[in-house]
Amino acid sequence: MATGFFWDERCFWHSGGNYALTLPVGDLVQPLASGGLPESPETKRRLKNLMDVTGLSRDLILRSADSATTQELERVHPRSFLREFKEISDQGGGDMGLRTPFGKGGYEVAALSAGLATEAVRAVLKGEVQNAYALSRPPGHHCLPDWPNGFCLMANIAIAAEAALAENRAKRIAVIDWDVHHGNGTEAIFYDRDDVLTVSLHQEHNYPLDTGDTADRGQDDGLGYNINIPLPPGCGHVAYLDAMSRIVLPALEDFKPDLIVIACGFDAAAFDPLSRMMATADTFRQLTRHVMAAAKRLCDGRLVMVHEGGYSEAYVPFCGHAVLEEMSGSAHVAPDPMADTLAKRQPSARFDAFTHDLIGEMAAFFATPPEKG
């Protein structure tokens, strides 16, 4: 059974405000020559272009999707939030949260982005495809129910998960977030729930500055169903695979999901302007291989990737291509042009030993059931 790829040109037309990286232009902050927020369409468009050039696109089932419906959106976002968002969008755009500018039509593009994720999940659960990739833009994992945050205007994965649960297509869903930034929005939405396991691997205190600690394990029915794996700056290939094998995979085995959804950010890659990590395209390939094997063991291979961050226009396409090669088994490859250089730049054996011990401490912590109180 083939791999689905859900995308829409209209998502590339989402526009942000007058920023230089994450700073509003003005006072002493000059505009960048490249212009605007780092969350630009080019990382995603260049991924799709690379797939077309290598021939990988021909090995996938390419589809678009309808926008998420009002009913689907309201399972996560209050009606008052959606109404305000739509009004501002219709009036020409604005900024409702923290670093979430949008132009006219921003509401419709965000609903389409959520729709791509929702339909990718639905297609996998209906058996139309074995697994799927949603090239969603704008991203979603920072968005709270009533507050956009960190380039994220709607909570794409949460909307897709709630639709799957409401339609009785799944009863237990695991969300693994390997975007370099903490998945605080997804965490908050499911923090008191035991039907959605949320796991976030992220650079410690990158963004947001005040979330993502190991001690935050959920509350009420959700106690023990939220796992944060904060990694120190400088971690690379070895640390990510170590965290996957010693923490993420055991958590999946215990939870036994009906579906695994990955918040698939590529901003832990070595060239990203918003992180200080050293992952490579092969890191993401190997992570994908691990979760595919887990999905095969636990839920008949049902796996969905939803695109989140990643801000290196030159390098993100190779990371995404590696993931899709692995998902589809395609023989159309895009060799990483920086593989040899990044292999030499990986952390030292001493640093890897330090992170191995740190990950071991976290693994032991998560293996102990949290105390209710």
Determine, yes or no, domain membership for 258: yes
Predicted pLDDT of residue 17: 78
Residues sharing a CB contact under 8 Å with residue 162, sequence separation 6 or more, in sequence order: 72, 75, 76
Predicted pLDDT of residue 31: 83
pLDDT at 269 over 80: yes
In the annotation, is 142 catalytic? yes
Determine, yes or no, domain membership for 372: no
Determine, yes or no, domain membership for 291: yes
Q: pTM above the 0.95 mark?
A: yes
Determine, yes or no, domain membership for 350: yes
Predicted pLDDT of residue 253: 98
Q: How far apart, in whole angstroms, are the C-alpha atoms of residue 212 and residue 206?
A: 9
Determine, yes or no, domain membership for 54: yes
Of 22-36, 134-148, 219-233, the one with minimum mean pLDDT is: 22-36
Determine, yes or no, domain membership for 118: yes
Pairing of strands 196-203, 173-177: parallel
pLDDT digits (tens, 9 = 90+) for 225-238: 999 999 999 999 99
Report, as an integer, the average pLDDT of 257-270: 98
pLDDT band at 36; cut points 50, 70, 90: confident
pLDDT at 287 over 80: yes
Q: How many residues does the chain have?
A: 373
Phi then psi for residue 222, to 5 deg, are -90, 5
Q: How far apart, in whole angstroms, are the C-alpha atoms of residue 277 and residue 205?
A: 13
Give the CA distances from residue 242 to residues 111, 237, 298, 352, 353, in Å, rounded to whole numbers and listed in that order.
36, 9, 20, 10, 11
Among 276, 313, 280, smallest CA distance to 39 is for 313
Determine, yes or no, domain membership for 373: no
Determine, yes or no, domain membership for 244: yes
Q: Determine which helix (DSSP H) or strand (DSSP E) holds 318, and give its type and residue range.
A: helix 316-328
Q: How far apart, in whole angstroms, are the C-alpha atoms of residue 361 and residue 243?
A: 11
Instruction: Kindly state the tokens that stand for 202.
Output: 């992220």
- For 203, the domain range is 3-367
Q: CATH no. for residue 20? A: 3.40.800.20
pLDDT digits (tens, 9 = 90+) for 47-61: 999 999 999 999 999
Count how many domains the chain has: 1
> How high does pLDDT run on average in the chain?
96
pLDDT at 244 over 90: yes
Of the residues 14, 77, 141, 142, which is catalytic?
142
